[in-house]
Homo-oligomer: A and B are copies of this chain.
Amino acid sequence: MNYKDLFAEIAVQAAQIENLGEVAAYIPELQRVDPLKFGIHLTTLENENFGVGDYQEKFSIQSIAKVLSLTLAFDLEDDKLWRRVDVEPSGTPFNSLVQLEYEKGIPRNPLINAGALVICDILVSRLKNPKREFIEFVRKIAGNQAINYCQRTADSEKSTGYKNAALINLMKSYGNIHNDIDVVLDFYFHLCSIEMSCQELSQHFLFLAAGGINPLNNEKVISASKSKRINAIMQLCGFYDEAGEFSFRVGLPGKSGVGGGIVAIHPGQYSVAVWSPKLNQKGNSYKGMKILEFFTTRSESSIF
């Protein structure tokens, strides 16, 4: 595949796609972003790198961070993890309490908010200084000490995070949260506030395309088997109630965030990250999905 030519096409394409959708409204800090921003960056297993647009600009990765917390928790807990969170698609909007109540406080999967909160609770139990140890884990994979939380975004989300507070209280009532609610929520809001650029994201997620090994420094992040399973979870659960649509159109495992970022993996080949702040009605980047569909269609690189 000649990615260089394809990225030239993408630059043209990105300018032509109408910039529909709305910037996430429920976190005040996210409202401040320029809605016209657009970037995409690809990193291959051979460490070839291709970028277009604002691919070096940091943005709030939001729910994309849930893949990183899952990675750390899965590594620490092994299959014990699945006693407290399932691996099934949610089939309902991402914040829904209905299914959680029906299933007695066991979230459907670790990538919806409820599941990510359980993962945070596990990390709070496991780590001495959760916030510091987690960001160091992220920095180490990325080989990049500049990655950090954004305190303003974390504060902004905390001030309006009533649905997450409802979720975690409901799970606590079922005994599936072991630590103090405020501590877990604080960790969760920090985690979602991490800022990375498309370039950093595509390089960071490369280990999931490489069987758990970071090909940039040859360090093992997680076992090959766990790496595959994280990809399987992303494929089925990475896009709220639009996982089917993303699989259908793009055909790669991936994860989106309400900051407008999407990262996707082609096992054995590459990791790609895209950013465009306006979201469609299901809460995923409108232009980001369009561009990734264009990219896998032209490169014929759906996993299916």
Residues of A within 8 A of B (CB): 86-92, 96-99, 101-102, 108-109, 162-163, 165-167, 169-170, 172-173, 181, 225, 227-229, 231-233, 235-237, 241-245, 247-248, 251, 253, 267, 297, 302-304
Main DSSP-derived SS at the A contact region: helix
Among A88, A92, A102, A253, which residue has the most Cβ atoms of chain B within 10 A?
Answer: A88
**A166 CA to B174 CA, complexed, in Å:** 12
A-B contact pairs, 8 of them (CB 8 A): A89-B89, A91-B99, A96-B101, A163-B169, A166-B169, A229-B248, A236-B243, A253-B304
CB of B236 within 8 A of CB of A251, answer no
Instruction: List B contacts of A227 (CB < 8 A).
Output: 304
Which residue of chain B has its CB nearest to the CB of A303?
B303
Instruction: List B contacts of A99 (CB < 8 A).
Output: 91
User: Given that A89-B236, A98-B101, A303-B267 are known contacts, is A166 also in contact with B173, CB under 8 Å in the complex?
Assistant: yes
Instruction: List B contacts of A90 (CB < 8 A).
Output: 91
CB of A169 within 8 A of CB of B165, answer yes
